[in-house]
Amino acid sequence: MSDYETYSEAKKRLEEIARALEENDVTLERSMELYEEGAKLLSLCYEKLNSAKLRFSKINEERQVATDGE
């Protein structure tokens, strides 16, 4: 499992990485490490957002079925 269990935690770390890369105070090697970590976090964030979207869709579908049955 990821070190970042929630979307908010992953997003916060992603923002920290972006700031570090923008400041240009890191070596090329460290920049590459941060970029790689950021890419993984971005994928994690997309996964969590897509999962939430599917859950919302399912809730809305269930609500619609319940409403149509009344």
* Rounded average pLDDT over 3-8: 86
Query: Residue 37's pLDDT is what?
Result: 97
Domain positions in the chain: 7-68
- Following DSSP, what letter does each residue of the chain receive, concatenated? --S--SHHHHHHHHHHHHHHHHHT-S-HHHHHHHHHHHHHHHHHHHHHHHHHHHHHHHHHHHHHHHHHT-
Task: Give 28-58 pLDDT, tens digit per residue.
Answer: 999 999 999 999 999 999 999 999 999 999 9
Confidence of residue 69 (pLDDT cuts 50, 70, 90): low
